[in-house]
Amino acid sequence: MQTKTFSILPVIFAIAAGALIPSSASLAVVHRAAKPASHKKAAAAVNALPPLAAQTSLASNPPALPAKAWLLMDSDSGEVLASANADEPLPPASLTKMMTSYLVEQALRSGKLKQTDLVSVSLNAWCRGSSTESCMYLPLNSQATVIDILRGIIIQSGNDASKAIAEHMAGSEASFAKLMNAEAQRLGMTRTHFVNATGLPDPEHKSSARDLAILARAIIHDSVDYYPIYAEREFKYNGIKQGNRNALLYTDPTVDGLKTGHTEAAGYCLVTSSKRNEMRMITVILNTNSAQARADETRTLLGWGFSNFEKATPIQPNTVVATAKISFGKADTVAAGLGAPWMLTVPRGQQVQTSVEFGAGLEAPVTKGSVIGKVVATSNGKPVGEAPLVAQADVERAGLLLRTWQHIAKLFGK
């Protein structure tokens, strides 16, 4: 797991213009002599993964990235724009803490938690002075506010903060893991199983690139009040100032989250969100060979994404898209349109086609605003998104005599 860092990190990140962090072992023993640069380069070359080509892509010439899995998602629609090995369950390391923070944020949003609630630090949660794991450095048997704990999880990647809030919310970390898995299932994270709140290694603790992008999107959309914390570069607690390990926060002003992770088994991982003009994109890089690599690969993927995609509005709001046939109503048809404005992220310069699908056997009564079908958008023969179609008016159910006549007409094919 990631290691103890202090206020010097933001300076290091900014100067390096990348995640030039040494291995966890070298951080754990800060007085160890650094290896010559040539040795470091040789070691990196030996450990480098082969480039992993895209297995799915909505645009041409996607990059090949040296990682075990990677993915690019449009945040607005949830559409995967390009990916490789997106569904393999892999160790997520501290990317796990996105679910921990998400559950805290939703509890704050619902009123189950308050920002000023005090969280106790048990012996189990306490970091025992170890410099081989990420800690907020909460004193044993102390108390911290929920909002400080949340910052400690997101910015400092605190294992102690994660365990303390898990025990506070669910009684134990094992019980909290059950909440995590229930939420993962609700969000549609089908290749994920959590065992703990931190991401510390466990053979059963896995997630996939697609699932982690789904979680990142949920944080962005559902945790509006707390999402700005993911862009904060440093946090000071207990007299210790630590920097956010997401190097892109220091070098790319369009990046505003989300989380880094590292263990021996997981390699170096990064989930990032970037917004440029109207587009927000989410990237996931899993199991690459260095902190520098995860930052560089993310830059490459974001650069390709923003260069090759653009926003499109297939159908203007307040437009009748199609007319649906209605059985047993006072009217035979009802106009269908979009329930909300619809924008897609599509390959630059490509035309978007739309097709309409209605539910089989629509019958009255139909309420204005109810979903009665969907419109599907494709570009270059590939689906790029869909949106619900809603009834634009009420259709009352016909009286008995009219319904009887309609039944008879149907029998005779009229």
Residue (of 156, 159, 153, 140) closest to 107 by Cα position: 153
In this structure, the strands spanning 333-338 and 344-347 are unpaired
The helix or strand, by DSSP H or E, that contains position 160, with its residue range, turns out to be: helix 159-170
The pair of structure tokens assigned to 236 is 């000071």
Distance of CA 160 to the CA centre of its chain: 23
Say how far apart CA 223 and CA 230 lie, in whole Å: 11
What is the chain's alpha carbon radius of gyration, rounded to the nearest angstrom? 25
- Check: CB of residue 126 under 8 Å from CB of residue 146: no
Residue 388 to residues 80, 129, 241, 320, 359: CA-CA distances in angstroms? 19, 54, 48, 13, 11
C-alpha dist (Å) from residue 90 to 272, 297, 388: 18, 18, 34
Helix 209-222 vs helix 173-187: angle between axes, to the nearest 10 degrees? Answer: 90
Q: Which of 13, 238, 252, 261 is nearest to 127 (CA)?
A: 238
Measure CA 250 to chain center.
21
What's the CA angle centered on 266, arms 8 and 25, to 5 degrees?
A: 45
Q: How far apart are CA 310 and CA 278, in angstroms?
A: 9
Question: Which residues are CB-neighbours of 124 under 8 A, at least 6 positions away?
Answer: 163, 167, 173
Q: Which residues are catalytic?
A: 94, 97, 157
